Amino acid sequence: MQTMNNENDILNELIKPDSRCSVFHITLKSLSEKLEKINLNDNIPKEISEQIRICKKLCLYSYFVYEFATVGEELSYLAIETALKERLRLFYLDGFEFKNLESGLIQKEKPHSLPHFESLLRNDILKFMGAEGFFKRGINMYDLMNWAIEKEILKESFKGQGAVVKDLRNFAAHPSGRSINIPWNAIDSLARNVSLINSLFREKL
């Protein structure tokens, strides 16, 4: 097993291209050019745009660490979940009903930010009651996608993708048995996910 004995060895390893990239004729320039075509619109909230920025960087750095492209692709599914939750929060500015499992009382909460909304959803004492009959089982990717289509936030063309996105998101969060994707394919998936996120925020909210 090769060991790196000094700082120069470590630095040299960091800037050494992954040999697997040459098999698919992948260069740093070609990765950069492909990623430059993937852009979020100006209406995307900061938290989500930061997640996608990290996804793009990981895909770019796959030139040095081949597996990074797969990690970037997987994280983009988590970004979709974040975007759907934020779109839900913004749609119901009057707030949501939660049942306090200790008191049995229904309380209305108006989350002022996405982190606040997510903290309420993670609260074991509160059960999310949904809005207008949605999400009675709690929030999941499948129902979030269907809700967005029902409310005409997403186009009908996205119908049927909820289950796929849900499975891929769950795989990203629990990647047992992960297979390594070719960087080109990972970037194509990232582009599709960014397109979905852009569709959620076509207008400034």
**Distance between CA atoms of residues 27 and 153, nearest Å:** 38
**80 in the same domain as 163:** yes
The answer to the question of residue 85 being in a domain is yes
The answer to the question of residue 171 being in a domain is yes
**120 in the same domain as 69:** no
The answer to the question of residue 7 being in a domain is no
Angle between helices 28-36 and 46-60 (to 10 degrees): 160
**71 in the same domain as 160:** yes
Number of domains into which the chain is organized: 2
**122 in the same domain as 70:** no
**Distance between CA atoms of residues 166 and 115, nearest Å:** 21
**58 in the same domain as 97:** no
Domain that holds residue 101: 93-130
The answer to the question of residue 6 being in a domain is no
**88 in the same domain as 29:** yes
The answer to the question of residue 125 being in a domain is yes
End-of-domain residue from the set 77, 103, 130: 130
DSSP conformation class of 181: P
DSSP-based three-state secondary structure for 205: coil
End-of-domain residue from the set 130, 154, 188: 130
The answer to the question of residue 64 being in a domain is yes
Spans in the chain with pLDDT lower than 70: 1-8, 132-134, 136-138, 159-178, 205
**Distance between CA atoms of residues 58 and 78, nearest Å:** 14
**101 in the same domain as 189:** no
**184 in the same domain as 85:** yes
The answer to the question of residue 78 being in a domain is yes
**183 in the same domain as 149:** yes
**88 in the same domain as 119:** no
pLDDT value of position 1: 41
The answer to the question of residue 40 being in a domain is yes
**150 in the same domain as 183:** yes
